[in-house]
Amino acid sequence: MRENQWRTLIRCKPLLGTYVEITAHTYSDHPIAYRDLKYCIERAFSSIQDLHLRLNFYNENSELSHLNRLAHLGPLVISSELKTLLLIAHEIHCYSEGLFNCGIGQCALRLDKDQLRFGDLADLQFLAHDHVYANRPLCLNLSGIAKGYAVDCAVDILLKQGVAAGCVNAGGDLKVFGPKAQKIHLRIPHQSHALIELGELQNGAVASSANYFCSPTSTQNLGQGIVHPQQQLPSDSPHSYSIIAPQCVHADALTKVLALSQQIVHPCFERYDAKPFIFYHDKNTYSKQRGD
C-alpha cells in the first residue's frame, strides 16, 4: 500500500431519507485514475437512487407500495433487487424468531389498532419466476434493512468499476472495502455530536440504531426509530446498538434484533458472523457491552 500516493474523492447526497456519503480511493499507477472516480461514484449513487425509488414506503408509486397494495390479490412479479432483499429479510425474520419484522409499516403510519390487521413477512410466499404472493394484505416497511442493502449494492458497483478502496456510509450504516483497515467512529447516545473510536475495520460493515435523533412521539420523525413487532410500539430505549458484520444488510437488520432482544448473545449474530455492541446511557454515564 503506497500511503503517500493515494488520492481520495468524497461525495455526499441526500438519499434514502438521510445523507449518503461515498468515499473512493485510488493511487497513482492504479488502472482507475483520480478523474475516473467521479464516474464510479456517480454509478454507485445511481444504484442507491434506484433503490430509493423502488423501496420507499412513503412513495405510493414505489415498487414496495405496489407490492403492499397487490400481493394479496394474486401472484405478483417483482424485481430481482426487491426479491433479493425480501429473501434476506425473510431469512433474518426466521432466524431472529420474529424479532426482525418488516411487516409493521402500519405503525409508521400511526393507524388505529382496528386497522392493524396486516400480515407480515411470514405471510409472504416466494413463487417461481420472481413472483410473490401474500396470504394477507401487507404493509411491509423495509426501512430497517434497505439502507444496509443499498450500501452493499453501492460497494459492489464500486468494486466492479475497479475502485481500489473506499467506504459507503448511508446515514451511519456503512461498509468499508480495500486493502487497508479503516478507523470506525460511533456517535454517543444523546451526545450525538461526540464520537468514540470503535476500532479498525477492513472489508466489513457497521450499522447502529438508537433513538437519539428522533422522538417516538414526534410526528416530525414519523417512521423513524425501532418498533417492537409484537407490541407494535416504538422503542424508547436511550441506548445505542451497533453490529459489525461482513455485509451491511445483515448489520442493519441485526441492530433491530439486538435492540429488541437486549441480548449480546443471540444465535442470529453467530450465523451472520456479526459482532454486537450495546452502549448504555444511564444518568449521564456511558458504558458499553460487547459480544465476541
Partner 1 sequence: MLWKPSSIVFLTGASVISGASLAHAKIYISVDQVQKILFPSSQFTLKPILIDQALQASLKKVSGVHYPFRGEHIWRDQAGNFLVIDEVVGKHEMIRYAVGITNAGTIQGIEILEYRESYGYEVAAQQWRQQFVGKTANDPLKLNRDIQNISGATLSSKHITDGVKRVMHFYQVALKGAN
**Which residues contribute to the site for partner 1 (CB under 8 A)?**
10-15, 17-19, 21, 23, 38, 42, 147, 167, 169, 171-174, 176, 181-188, 191-204, 206-214, 220-221, 224, 240, 242, 244-246, 273, 275, 279, 284-290
Picking from 211, 84, 220, the residue whose alpha carbon sits closest to that of residue 148 is 84
Residue 124 Cβ vs partner 1, minimum distance, rounded to whole Å: 25
Judged by CB, which is closer to partner 1: 222, or 233? Answer: 222
Residues 6 or more apart in contact with residue 53 via CB below 8 angstroms: 59, 62
- Across-strand partners of 25? 8, 165
Residue 94 Cβ vs partner 1, minimum distance, rounded to whole Å: 23
Instruction: With beta carbons less than 8 A apart as the criterion, state whether 139 and 229 touch.
Output: no
Residues 6 or more apart in contact with residue 148 via CB below 8 angstroms: 170, 173, 205, 207, 247, 248, 249, 250, 251, 252, 253
Residue 131 Cβ vs partner 1, minimum distance, rounded to whole Å: 32
Residue 123 burial (CB < 10 Å; 0-12/13-18/19+)? middle
Judged by CB, which is closer to partner 1: 119, or 223? Answer: 223
Q: Which amino acid is at 246?
A: P
Residue 2 Cβ vs partner 1, minimum distance, rounded to whole Å: 19
Judged by CB, which is closer to partner 1: 18, or 161? Answer: 18
Judged by CB, which is closer to partner 1: 72, or 250? Answer: 250
What are the C-alpha distances in Å from 46 to residues 32, 42, 137, 158, 184? 19, 6, 31, 12, 26
Residue 80 Cβ vs partner 1, minimum distance, rounded to whole Å: 25
Judged by CB, which is closer to partner 1: 5, or 289? Answer: 289
Residues 6 or more apart in contact with residue 210 via CB below 8 angstroms: 187, 189, 237, 239, 240, 241
- Residue 55: strand, helix, or coil: helix
Residue 38 Cβ vs partner 1, minimum distance, rounded to whole Å: 7
Residue 288 Cβ vs partner 1, minimum distance, rounded to whole Å: 6
Picking from 17, 98, 41, the residue whose alpha carbon sits closest to that of residue 260 is 98
Judged by CB, which is closer to partner 1: 138, or 224? Answer: 224
Residue 122 Cβ vs partner 1, minimum distance, rounded to whole Å: 26
Judged by CB, which is closer to partner 1: 32, or 132? Answer: 32
Judged by CB, which is closer to partner 1: 101, or 182? Answer: 182
Q: Which amino acid is at 216?
A: P
Block residue for cell numbers 445505542: 240
